[in-house]
């Protein structure tokens, strides 16, 4: 149990420091030399194996349109070398993403991610995010700001 | 560990018998008298507490448009009274759903679900499904069968 608790603590710190606070360089402390994205529909790196530099680039790229993004952890479930995280995400849409120029809208999303560890380093994930929810929120922003409806 | 393994086995049987094979009545063997849907974006029962009859009705309603649906379990992660399941889903779209009359198309989706147990009964879940993927598959069916493109 001590090991499982420790992995939960490591993951909690990783999410806060790297993904919520946006300190991509801090990935050095958490990520294994080879990181595999096993499953992550919609993620540009799905199926790839990333080295540390590529992982940091992924953090920076994904945070650029949502620079104030933050995660609230809803649940942590540890089993062997894995920890599953259920989470809520919120952010301001400040940069362009495909199909959606920056709207300035507050958006929310939820997801679940299984993280895999090698010793105390995170070596990959299997993730589902509720992408449709973000799509619908941004579509509704588009509709409410279109010339036809103003 | 014996308890955790047992919960994984119970959950595996439950998914097979109730959700893949469609035996809604078998929920009697697995579901607690009160079942809470904690989080499940897009699910019509999200946030509700269901008794056994309502749970069976939910199974029947959700399977109606996808009567041959089946789940492949990718991962099982047990921690205390919870088991998280990561899964792939496939089905034939044989009945109407809002916005999409039956297309006969084969569709696939993935998801992750945290199931909560009380003793050996499942008492609720927190779920994320990749709804956007199904939306896009059905949209593309619509486009390829529209009068304009035929």
Q: Is the pLDDT of residue B148 over 80?
A: no
Quote the minimal CA–CA distance from B41 to chain A in Å. 7
Tell me if A112 and B128 make a contact (CB, 8 A cut-off). yes
For chain A, the distance separating the N- and C-terminal CA atoms, rounded to the nearest angstrom, is: 58
Closest to A78 (Cβ–Cβ): which among B39, B75, B79? B79
pLDDT score for B18: 98
Q: Is the pLDDT of residue A69 over 80?
A: yes
pLDDT score for A149: 45
pLDDT score for A150: 41
Tell me if B77 and A77 make a contact (CB, 8 A cut-off). yes
- Give the CB-side neighbour count of residue B8, counting CA atoms within 13 A: 16
The residue among A69 and A119 whose pLDDT is bigger is: A69
Q: Which fold has domain A2-144?
A: Nuclear Transport Factor 2; Chain: A, (3.10.450)
Which residue of A74, A77, A87 is the best one to mutate when testing the B interface, meaning the one whose CB has the most B CBs within 10 A? A77
Query: Domain B2-149's class?
Result: alpha beta
Tell me which residues of chain A, numbers 102 to 141, contact chain B at a CB-CB cutoff of 8 Å.
Answer: 110-114, 126-133, 135
Question: Does A42 lie at the interface with B, CB-CB under 8 angstroms?
Answer: yes
Reported ipTM: the value is: 0.93
Tell me if B132 and A41 make a contact (CB, 8 A cut-off). yes
User: pLDDT digit string (tens) for B53-99?
Assistant: 999 999 999 999 999 999 999 999 999 999 999 999 999 999 999 99
Quote the minimal CA–CA distance from A16 to chain B in Å. 21
CA distances from B112 to A124, A127, B60, B74 (A): 16, 8, 21, 10
Name residues whose C-beta falls within 8 Å of residue A40's C-beta, 6 or more positions apart in sequence: A46, A125, A126, A127, A129
Q: Is the pLDDT of residue A1 over 60?
A: no
Q: Which residue of B has its CA nearest to A115?
A: B77
Distance CA A2, CA A100 (A): 45
Quote the minimal CA–CA distance from A117 to chain B in Å. 14
pLDDT score for B145: 75
From its phi and psi, is residue B80 left (phi > 0), alpha (psi between -120 and 50) or beta? Answer: left
Q: Is the pLDDT of residue B149 over 50?
A: no
Quote the minimal CA–CA distance from B104 to chain A in Å. 22
Q: Which residue of A has its CA nearest to B110?
A: A128
Q: Which two tokens stand for residue B46?
A: 């999200």
**Three-state SS for B134?**
helix
């Amino acid at each position: 149990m001590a090991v499982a608790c420790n992995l939960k603590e490591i993951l909690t710190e990783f999410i806060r420091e790297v993904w919520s606070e946006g300190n991509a360089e801090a990935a050095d402390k958490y990520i294994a030399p080879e990181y595999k994205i096993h499953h992550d529909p919609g993620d540009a790196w799905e199926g790839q194996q990333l080295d540390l530099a590529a992982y940091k680039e992924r953090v920076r790229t994904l945070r650029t349109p949502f620079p104030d993004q933050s995660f609230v952890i809803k649940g942590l479930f540890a089993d062997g070398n894995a920890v599953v995280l259920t989470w809520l995400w919120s952010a301001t849409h400040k940069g362009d993403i495909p199909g959606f120029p920056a709207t300035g809208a507050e958006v929310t999303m939820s997801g679940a991610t299984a993280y895999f560890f090698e010793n105390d380093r995170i070596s990959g994930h299997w993730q589902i995010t509720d992408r449709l929810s973000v799509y619908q929120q941004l579509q509704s922003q588009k509709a409410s700001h279109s010339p036809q409806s103003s």
